[in-house]
Amino acid sequence: MANIKQQKKRVLQDDKRRNKNRMFKGSIKKAVKMVEANVESGDKEAAEQSLSLVYKKLDKALAKGLFHKNNIARKKSRLSKLVNSL
């Protein structure tokens, strides 16, 4: 642990940001699984609604800098292809 006051504050801030980012990434994973589950059950309308929610979350993650833009594009492409297969 740091002795300098600023570094102690920095450690706390980094921990807070890391936890926030982990929660956000977890919510993205849950939303993606929801899309996949809707596709598996054959419910196209629910799959499209959950797909739009995933798009919103992925765009927000891109704006925050959590993922690379190509990673986001790949995830969107795969999910849209999955939903369009219904």
Q: What is the helix (H) or strand (E) element at residue 65, kind and residue range? A: none
CATH number at residue 45: 1.20.58.110
Determine if the pTM surpasses 0.75: yes
At 6-20, the pLDDT tens digits run 999 999 999 999 999
pLDDT of residue 2: 80
Q: Which 3-state string (H, E, C) describes 7-55?
A: HHHHHHHHHHHHHHHHHHHHHHHHHHHHHHHHHHHCCHHHHHHHHHHHH
As for how many domains the chain has, the answer is: 1
- Least Cα distance to 24 among 74, 69, 59 occurs for 59
Q: Could you tell me how far CA 35 lies from the centroid of its own chain?
A: 13
CB 18, CB 54: distance < 8 Å: no
Residue range of the domain that includes 37: 5-84
